Structure 1
């Protein structure tokens, strides 16, 4: 089963009674037609990837402590306490956060209909990150990504959105409507601008049906938002003209109507508008 762990040979002893019991329980749900085998495999993939990333982050955080522990450099009276206590605390935190997110997901599931759900989908990218990263050391790149992720999570969660995934210099998020999505991009831009080491962002967003599967979102609205992001200039948010009325009403002085149709790969020609993410200055010219 794809838990995200390395595969082992058929003869290797890698699992014990606890794993067998978990599989028996899951199999009982499949036998009762509560779940299908495809459901189980999809959930296993999602959990494996997510928890692999969580544990990597935890080990990175504890790396220094682990090195000291393994070297025996701790005073004898502390060697048996520090690392196990930290690991136990992190395990408890994972359980707490899982419970919190499970309740939030159940609430969302109870209020939405089956299938595609109308929602705003947004992307925010750091401009020129690939070029910038070539001139930075690994430590500086890590700090840049960390600062971007902090700005993203702060803005998205405080304004009522939800982070779907972060891929280095890019975030995909969802929001209840296009207004909230625009506020989120402006919130990210404001936080990024406060850090002199970070490049500006460019964003795209669209409102429409999107399917939620395994913690991710799919559908034409997601594709449209991604393509709009690819044509956005630094310091701007690009949205379809059909979604733009509330944004024009609120931020009319920041809006630039794009009079020509934008040809988006795989989608076709779309009429759109660009909105400056900051009211203080003009967006940077596309390079």
Structure 2
């Protein structure tokens, strides 16, 4: 059930009419945001919301409809996941007798913080794209270094731990690894429960990131970690990356021994002359999709 807003004057259908778009297109966008095709007369939108959606709808004149729907779907999926987690947290807080705020008060405060953090991230991303060549647009070929990190023995661990312990493990893993990635100017592309995909346009910083993550391996509360790194052109699309370097990084990660880093030939060539790193080739790997995948280990000099 969609809860109406006390300050809203437009229902979903009234919004579609007000911005002047085709009803079918409006239904597609609404569904892509994750709300289904159910009818709703609830008042959900203000005049400011109408103006924002009108600007979004104008993009149909210059942006392919499928791209707009994909954008809406990405926004919807990301925010739905975030909202589910936030709802659990707010309900848990509301049951704490020491918390004196109402659910509505906490939700409003969280909304303001969320908008602030988003604006700062957007400002940083826009400035970075303007002032350097590291910015990238959707559907662009982006030359970058891609890394996969995963928890060794996650399947076994998930069977041994209860839900609370598993949650604490995943939270510690994501926090520790994401902190290292951010400290070296990298970008967390996505988390996968037992794995993290990241990117860094600078192979030197990516190598330093991998070594710092390897230092976390086996240090409580984390179990052993392993890392795979590949460098090359990827397709950047809706905050995600696709292409052969992503596949190779995943295969290298899966083949790495606990606590170690495997890199591909492109990455090895990019950092081989740097005395801060020790690169040693290994026998070609036979992995899914690659019968003879050339790889090297990355470590610090002895």
TM-score calculated relative to the size of structure 1: 0.81
Aligned match of 1:37 in 65, 84, 109? 65
Q: Which runs of 4+ in 1 moved over 6 A?
A: none
1:205-254 Cα offsets, whole Å, 9 max, x none, are 111111211000111111111111121111111111342142574356x5
SS of the residue aligned with 1:154?
helix
User: Residue in 1 aligned with 2:254?
Assistant: 230
Seen in structure 2, the aligned counterparts of structure 1 residues 186 and 94 have a Cα distance that, compared at 3 Å, is same
User: Residue in 2 aligned with 1:49?
Assistant: 77
CA distance in 1, matches of 2:129, 2:42: 36
Seen in structure 2, the aligned counterparts of structure 1 residues 192 and 216 have a Cα distance that, compared at 3 Å, is same
SS of the residue aligned with 1:244?
helix
| 5+ residue gaps, structure 2 | 1-28
1:135 aligns with 2:160: yes
User: Residue in 1 aligned with 2:295?
Assistant: 272
1:27 aligns with 2:57: yes
User: Residue in 1 aligned with 2:151?
Assistant: 126
CA distance in 1, matches of 2:136, 2:53: 31
Contact residue 256 and residue 275 of structure 1 kept, 8 A? yes
CA distance in 2, matches of 1:90, 1:192: 34
Deviation at 1:192, TM superposition (A): 4.6
Aligned match of 2:106 in 79, 86, 89? 86
CA distance in 2, matches of 1:248, 1:269: 25
- Cα RMSD after superposing both structures: 2.7
1:141-161 Cα offsets, whole Å, 9 max, x none, are 000000001112210001110
What are the within-5 Å matches in structure 2 for residues 188-203 of structure 1? 188-195=213-220, 197-203=221-227
Aligned match of 2:239 in 191, 197, 215? 215
User: Residue in 1 aligned with 2:86?
Assistant: 58
Deviation at 1:263, TM superposition (A): 2.4
User: Residue in 2 aligned with 1:104?
Assistant: 124
SS of the residue aligned with 1:230?
helix
Seen in structure 2, the aligned counterparts of structure 1 residues 54 and 186 have a Cα distance that, compared at 3 Å, is same
SS of the residue aligned with 1:207?
strand
CA distance in 2, matches of 1:146, 1:113: 29
Aligned residues: 265
Aligned match of 2:284 in 246, 251, 261? 261
